[in-house]
Amino acid sequence: MSPTLSTQHADTSSDFSSKRMFDIFFALAVTLCVLIWLIPLLAVLIKLESKGPIFFKQLRTGKDGVPFYCFKFRSMYVNTDANHKQASRGDSRITKTGAFLRKTSLDELPQFINVLLGDMSVVGPRPHMLQHTDTYSRIITNYMLRHAMRPGITGLAQVEGHRGETKEIGAMVNRVNADINYIQTWSLPLDVKIIALTAYQMVRGSENAF
């Protein structure tokens, strides 16, 4: 049975103002300490291997179902399937540099720009492609409840292992349930814990990251 969303947590509550302040502080720190030198370095590697832009932007579903452009380092050769086909293990579209970026989740770092723009949070339900939102909202009860909060660069679902390709409906149901559980139980200490677990997984690597 899918969980229901309590009205205890809403993104307009005073509690979430502290979440937004934390997001801005954390995103600024990452931008000034990491992105300022990492973007030029990765830009060279990306451009040396394949033609195309450094960044990949894609419409994703945001808070309250409002679409926004989500930024990533481009990890694939330019292709026509990017906006509707998930990456899969051994995907021929992924470049060698892109494989490293995806394995380490470094391809997600430009999303700190999305955080500063107010489209995303550091921690929250991962934003899905518009086509997937349309598809899964029709077949999974309470799917749209995961959009009650700004989407995150990382989230509870990801650190619990519910990341990567969703070939079966059950895989997406597990992800949605984790997302709704996060919204229901949100706290700043939980965000810090998820960030720490995400950093650990980046170093260790994840079998579902490809």
d(CA 106, CA 127): 17
pLDDT of residue 16: 72
The model carries a pTM of 0.85
Contact (CB, 8 A) for 120 and 70? yes
Q: What is the mean pLDDT of residues 110-121?
A: 97
pLDDT of residue 32: 95
Q: Which of 75-79, 111-115, 162-166 has the highest mean pLDDT?
A: 111-115
d(CA 9, CA 196): 23
pLDDT tens-place string over residues 160-184: 988 776 678 888 999 999 999 999 9
Q: Where are the domains of the chain?
A: 15-204
pLDDT tens-place string over residues 29-56: 999 999 999 999 999 999 999 889 999 9
